[in-house]
Structure formats: structure tokens, C-alpha cells
Structure 1
Amino acid sequence: MTDVRCYAILSLMRGVVDQRLFAGLFGVMLMMGIALTLFGATLPLLIRTFGWSYLESGVVMGAGSVSFFIATFFAGRLASTVGLSRLFRGGFVLAAGGLLLFARWPSMWVNVLVNVLMSLGFGAVEIGANLTMLRIERDGSGRAMNVLHAAFAIGAILGPVSTGALLQTGIPWNLVYRGMAVLFLVLWLVMERLNPSRFDIPRADHATHPRGALLREPVYWLGFLTLCLYVGAELGVSNWVAEYGVQVFRIPERYAVFLVSTFWVGLLAGRFLAPLVLTPARQRGVLLGSAVLFAAAVALTAALGILLPSPLLLVFLVLASGLGAAVIFPTTVSLVGTALARWQGDAVGFATTGGGVGSFVFPFVMSAISEAWGIRIGFAFYSLSAFLLLGALGLLIAAAAHRTGRGAA
């Protein structure tokens, strides 16, 4: 087994044009995972310290989500014009500036503005990392992209844990944001030295390949739809599974929280196992098979709550859901970026915007359904979403294959 893992790592590194830049991108995504969980980790302190209501907290959070997916759209369009180094530079400056100022004053509206600017920076950095990875991965299989996004998942797990550990030392809680600002400035200096602009996307020739032609490409729209459904379903399962375990399976709250970790363990394992199975020839089969596993596991999780509330089976299905979800986002980004290489920045930016829309819209839908008909029906909604994702992904794979067959046409 060790030999197999070593072979996978060596194969992965040989498939990357610049290993130092890959390591830098891994660090960027790790810090992104930590930074994007800070709000949730400090939310109780924000509410108690500043006297915010749940509605005011939601306004601040929602403003960041909208800003993030707007940033991904425009960052994708600007990438070939400004270059990857400038894109990272702008993103890091906005993100670090926002982290320096967030939670410094109690005003909700000041913090909305700061969160908007900070999230614009996060969106630019996210697109910069994805596009750079597409440029340095030789075969476009998505193996290195999956490992890159595993770094984000590690950060999402470490973020709340490290924040809690720091708060235990007695430091003022909002200094956590200032510390992250310093780390983002350090990352900016590292990325400046690594110079990702060596792999800039060629400026699109809009006379030969106008953006209007991109709008007629099914891959463009299906990439958006796929990631919208995926992020909505993925965040839905991970955000609601603990409450589902408490309400439906009568799991004590102190144990139910580990269901979230179980999902992320499955997702992490899947992303680190991806180099073993992903090749250009297998990419589409692995992607579709993962979506089948995700849809089946989420559907069985919903059915289990109605037919046979078994906590042990729930743990197994949540783990399987995470494993099935693992490769979908990063491999879809690779598929879209490779299929629409002439408009790579626009295509990847728009697809990632779909994920941002899903992360914003789905929580409201789930909350409304659960409030009206109960959390069992709410989880059935996520089951339906997972099967719609499977259908969208099937159409995307077919459209990408057709596009590849057409070549440069």
C-alpha cells in the first residue's frame, strides 16, 4: 500500500510543471480554508460582543457570499488581461485589508462593507489558484487540482480548531483576524517570488473567438449549473447533518457534531486518493461514478431518516457522501477549463460563480422547507439536488466530449 501511495505522489509531482509553485498554491488554499471558517468560528463572540441579532449576522454573512461569487465571475474575465500575478496581488491586498479591519468596530454596516471587500479578495485568490493550477498541470486530468482542493478542506477543519485553541490562551478574540491578515500578506510575498505570471493565460483573440461564441457553448452553462447544484448540496449536507442526527436519529448533540467531521474526512480521503485513479482517459468515468455515489448516499441518508433511523448506518452513509463528493468540484473545474481552453478564465470564473450562487441560495431554500415540513423533507430536498447534479454532470461530460471532438472549431 505504501508503494502505491509513493507511486501516486511521484506520478502527481511529475505531472506538475512547477513543483515549487504547486507547493505555494497548496499553502494558499490551506489558508483560504482557515480564513473562510473564521466567521463561523467567531460568530457567537460577534453576537455577544457587538449585540448583533441573528438577522444582522445573516446580513453580514450574506454580503460576503454575494461579494465572493461576484468576484469569481469578474476575476475570471480579467485574468487573461491583468495576468495571474496581478490577480493574486489584488486579491491578497483586499483580503488582508479586510482581515485587518473586520470586527474592529461594532457597526453592522461597517462590517458589511469590510466583509464585501474581504470577500472580493478571497474570490480573486480562489480564481487565481484554480487558473494557475490548470496551467501547470500537464495532462488536465484533475489529479493535482484535487490535491490542491484537499488543502482547502484541511484548512476548513483546522480553522475552527486553531481558533478555539488560540482563544483558550485568553487573547482578544478579534486578534485572530489580524493574525490571518499577516499570514495573507506573507502569502502575497511568497507568490510574488514564485511569479505565477510565467504561466499567464494567453490574451483571448476576441476577433477570432468572441465572447459571444462562448455564450453558445453548452459547457459554459453546464459548468455553472453543475457547480451550483454541487456546492448547494455539499454545504447542505455538511451544515445540516448534525442537526439531522439530533432531531431524527436522537444522537446526543456532543456526538452529533462529529457527523460533520465524518463528512469532511470522507471528502479529504477522496481528494488524496484521486491521484490513484484519475487519468485523462478515466477522468469522465471517475467524475460520473463519484456523482452516482454522492447521489445514492444522500438519497439513502434521507430514506434512512424515514424508514430506519440507525445512527451506525447514518455514520457510514455520511462518510460515503463525503467520499462521493470529493472529486466533483476540482475535477469539474479541470474539465471546464480544458474543454474551453480558448476562454479559460471566463469559463472557470463563471463555473465557480455557480458554486457561489449555490452556497448563497440553497441555505434559504433548505431553511424554508425544514421550517414548513420538517428536517426529513429538508434532507429529501438535498437528495433531489444530488440527483439533479448527477444529471447536469452527465450532460456536462457529454458536452465536453463533443467540444473536444470539435477541436478548435
Structure 2
Amino acid sequence: MTDHSTQQRRTPPRPAPMDASAHATTPTPVFTTPAVFTTTPAVVASCVGFVLIGALQALYGPAIPALREEFGLSPSAAGLALSAHFVGGVAGVLLFDRRYGRTGNRRILGLSYLLMATGAAAFALAPTWPLALTAALLAGLGFGGIDYGLNQLFATGFGHRSTAMLNILNAHFGIGAILGPVLIGAAGADRYPAVFLAFALVTLPLLLCLRGVSDKTVHPTATLTPADPEGAPTAALRSVLTVFVTLYVLHVAIEAGVGGWEPTHLETIGYGAGLAATATSVYWLMMTVGRFLVAPLALRFSAQTIITVSCAGMTASLLLAAIPPLAPYAYAAVGLFIAPIFPTGLPWLHRAAPHARRAGALVIAASMAGGVTAGPTLGKVIEWSGVNAVPLLLAAASATCLAATRWLIRSTKAH
């Protein structure tokens, strides 16, 4: 007689049936990792592209004296060139976003580079001020497309390294912002057309590196949590996006506010004009250095942690800037702490709202709008409160950024 128990022991066990429910609860990866950039030259060219858009944004200011003389402009009228540039930038962000996923990345980036180069050349050669403003608008359109397009591709194309790569990319923007005024200063403001023409020519070779950019659309996915369940109410998503926009608008307003008002504040509290200008240059330099320094840290710490520390350090530094002996050093620290917020927040936003395809465009466009409105708004408040209140006003905005970050951490519970 056969011993059935022995037979059962000798019979190899059958594989357990696949349990679909078990796999349904397995968290999905935070990011897919397709080859968005298929060659190293494409990545390098993207960084060079960010050097150029940083330089372009910084070229208009130093050219204002020559623009006023050439076209007979008031200071406010000459400042419209940068405003036209930013208006074009916002339009470029929104236009690129509408075409993202419909038109190939190479084609859109190529068109953006061409628009920026054409606008810069037209600005240099414009015979009248209205034509110059139109050219600045055109250059800004390309600027916005490059800014949003490369930020979007870097935010979704490098997997867990996306935050680090975004900080490196945006650090190159800072390099351009430092180099732009240096070029105008070396050539002389009256030779700004030659600088803008040279800028246009340097942009064109980047078109040759676009073959290393994939046309594949990348859509990030996120681990669903109780705070972000599948089918969550639209109102909850709107709240998250609203707070992200608030964080971006305020932090860009602080960035522009320090850059614009630091020299005036330092002179008001007793520092010389030369030292005040140097301290402001150090502030921009520290912002660039900060992004390079955060890149390796982003591989070890979460975006939430980095932004929380950044906002807390930024707030403390602005409070210290109200103490005259510490002010120049405190402003430099502000540059160091504010540096990671913009590039580090984008991957977090994509994880928190993976199905809100236009979220990235919304916050980048809002940040540009914040840069445009920060100057006049802060100026009106300073007229009422006095220049000495500049660091305290900015510290209040920074504290709001910290509160917004803490709210987002509780609401998204992103990993």
C-alpha cells in the first residue's frame, strides 16, 4: 500500500498562485528611469543652455544706461525690456507645456533656442524702442521654453538622481547670471549690441546636441499614501498646488528682493557703495555655490528635509541681516540657503501631484510672475516702513515659506 503521506512529502510543492491583491499594495517606483538624455554631450549642452538663459536675463540691467541714451528713455521705460523678457518667459513656459507630450522634445527645445537667439539678435539690431521690446519678448519666449523644458526633463529623467541633477542644472543658471554683467562691463554698456549678437551666435551650436535628447514623454509616478489615495478629491490636489505656488512665488520674491534691495539696505546702515555692491555679488555667487553643494546631499536626504532646512536657515539669516555688523555675512548666508529651493521642489511636486501634468508649468510660470511683481510690491511696502525694515519684511516672507513647507510635508507624506 502506498504511503500517501510519504508521497505527498516527496512530491515537489506547486508554486503558490499569483495573488493580484498582494501586488496591488506594492508601492510603485517614485520615478521611472528612461533614457531622456541618451548622450553625455546632450546633458552638457543642457547645462550650457542654462548658463545662456542666466546670462540673457542678467544682460538687460547693465545695458540700461546705453538704452536710455540711444532711445531717449526714462529709467522706468528702459526697465520695460526686462519686463517684456519675463512676459515672454511666462508665455514660453505655458506654450511649451501645451506641446509637451504632443511635439517631440528635440523639436520644441530647438525652436526655443532659435527663438531666444533670434530675439537676442533682433534686440541688438532694433532701430526703435518698440521693436526692441518686441525682440525682448521674442527672446523671452525662447527663454521660457528652455527654462521649463529642461527643468521638466531633468525632474523626470534621472530617477532618484533627479533632485541632484536639477540643482546642478540650475547652478549653471547662476553662473550665467554672474557672467552676464561681467561681459557688459568688459565690453562697455554702449557696446551692448555686440554682446547680444555674440550671445545669439553662441546659442546656435546647441542645436547640434539635441539628437541626444529623447522624444519620449516621461510621466512620473508616485507611491500612493493615505494622504494621497487614488481618486483623492480634486479640492485636495488644488490645495497642494496652491501651497506649492505660494512657496515658489514667495521664495522667488525673496531672491529678487535681496538682490534688488541689499545694496540700498547696506548703504543705509552705513556701508560704502563699493562694499554694498560687492556683498550683493557675493550673495549671487553663494546661490550658485549652494546648488553645487546640495547636489551630493540630495542623494542622501529627501527634498522635504532639504527645503525645510533651507527655509529655516533663510529665515534665521534674514533676521541676522537686521543687525548691522552681521548684515553682509547674513545676506551671503541667505544666498546659500535659498539656493536649493527652486530645483529641489520640482521633483517633490511631481511626486506629490503625478497626475497634475501642468503642475510644473504652473509653479515655474508663477515663480517668473513673482520675480516681476516682487520689486514694485516690496518697494511700496518699503515706502511705508523704511529701508531698515527690508530684512525683517523678507524674513516674514521666509517664515511663510517655512510654514508652507511644513504644511506640504503633512499633506503629501511623500517618500
Matched, 1:133 2:146: no
Q: How does 1:285-304 map to 2 (within 5 A)?
A: 285-301=305-321, 303-304=322-323
Q: Is the 8 A contact 1:140 1:280 kept in 2?
A: no
Change (3 A) 1:182 1:281: same
Matched, 1:393 2:394: no
> Larger C-alpha radius of gyration, 1 or 2?
2
Q: How does 1:156-305 map to 2 (within 5 A)?
A: 156-167=177-188, 172-190=191-209, 192-197=210-215, 199-201=216-218, 213=234, 216-248=237-269, 250-279=270-299, 281-301=301-321, 303-304=322-323
Q: Is the 8 A contact 2:154 2:162 kept in 1?
A: no
Q: Is the 8 A contact 1:26 1:148 kept in 2?
A: yes
Q: Which moved more, 1:222-231 or 1:66-75?
A: 66-75
Q: Distance in 2 between matches of 1:71 and 1:289?
A: 32
Q: Distance in 2 between matches of 1:214 and 1:80?
A: 26
> Who is 1:338 aligned against?
351
Unaligned runs of 5+ in 1: 1-15
**Secondary structure, in 3 states, of the residue corresponding to 1:102?**
helix
CA apart distance, 1:213: 5.0
Q: Which of residues 365, 380, 385 is equivalent to 1:353?
A: 365
Q: Distance in 2 between matches of 1:77 and 1:247?
A: 47
Q: Which of residues 109, 117, 135 is equivalent to 1:88?
A: 109
> Who is 1:4 aligned against?
none
Change (3 A) 1:270 1:60: closer
CA apart distance, 1:288: 0.5
> What whole-Å deviation, never above 9, does each CA across 1:92-133 have from its counterpart, x for those lacking one?
121111011104235322222221111111000101110111
Q: Distance in 2 between matches of 1:140 and 1:221?
A: 26
Using the size of structure 2 for normalisation, the TM-score is 0.82
Q: Distance in 2 between matches of 1:215 and 1:61?
A: 36
Q: Distance in 2 between matches of 1:105 and 1:24?
A: 29
Q: Distance in 1 between matches of 2:276 and 2:283?
A: 12
Q: How does 1:7-86 map to 2 (within 5 A)?
A: 19-86=40-107
Q: Is the 8 A contact 2:42 2:211 kept in 1?
A: no
**Secondary structure, in 3 states, of the residue corresponding to 2:125?**
coil
Using the size of structure 1 for normalisation, the TM-score is 0.83
Q: Distance in 1 between matches of 2:276 and 2:401?
A: 27
CA apart distance, 1:399: 3.1
Change (3 A) 1:37 1:196: farther
Q: Distance in 1 between matches of 2:238 and 2:95?
A: 19
User: Which residue identity lines up with residue 212 of structure 2 in the other structure?
Assistant: L
CA apart distance, 1:25: 1.4
Q: Distance in 2 between matches of 1:327 and 1:35?
A: 22
Equivalent residue pairs, number: 371
Matched, 1:320 2:333: yes
Matched, 1:371 2:383: yes
Residue identity (%): 23
Matched, 1:147 2:147: no
Q: Is the 8 A contact 1:29 1:149 kept in 2?
A: yes
**Secondary structure, in 3 states, of the residue corresponding to 1:342?**
coil
CA apart distance, 1:202: 5.3
Q: Is the 8 A contact 2:220 2:350 kept in 1?
A: no
**Secondary structure, in 3 states, of the residue corresponding to 2:355?**
helix
Q: Distance in 2 between matches of 1:72 and 1:267?
A: 23
> Who is 1:121 aligned against?
142
| Pairwise CA RMSD | 2.7
User: Which residue identity lines up with residue 171 of structure 2 in the other structure?
Assistant: A
User: Which residue identity lines up with residue 255 of structure 1 in the other structure?
Assistant: L
Q: Is the 8 A contact 1:91 1:125 kept in 2?
A: yes
Change (3 A) 1:196 1:243: farther
CA apart distance, 1:377: 2.6
Q: Distance in 2 between matches of 1:72 and 1:338?
A: 20
**Secondary structure, in 3 states, of the residue corresponding to 1:251?**
coil
Change (3 A) 1:226 1:140: farther
CA apart distance, 1:343: 3.7
> What whole-Å deviation, never above 9, does each CA across 1:276-330 have from its counterpart, x for those lacking one?
32236532112101110011111221x32xxxx21xx112211211111011010
CA apart distance, 1:232: 0.5
User: Which residue identity lines up with residue 334 of structure 2 in the other structure?
Assistant: S
Q: Is the 8 A contact 1:30 1:155 kept in 2?
A: yes
Change (3 A) 1:103 1:278: same
Whose helix proportion is higher, 1 or 2?
Answer: 1
> What whole-Å deviation, never above 9, does each CA across 1:189-224 have from its counterpart, x for those lacking one?
32x232342x423599xxxx99x9599443322222
Change (3 A) 1:77 1:217: farther
CA apart distance, 1:355: 0.6
Unaligned runs of 5+ in 2: 1-36, 222-229
Change (3 A) 1:89 1:182: same
Q: Is the 8 A contact 2:116 2:139 kept in 1?
A: yes
**Secondary structure, in 3 states, of the residue corresponding to 1:81?**
coil
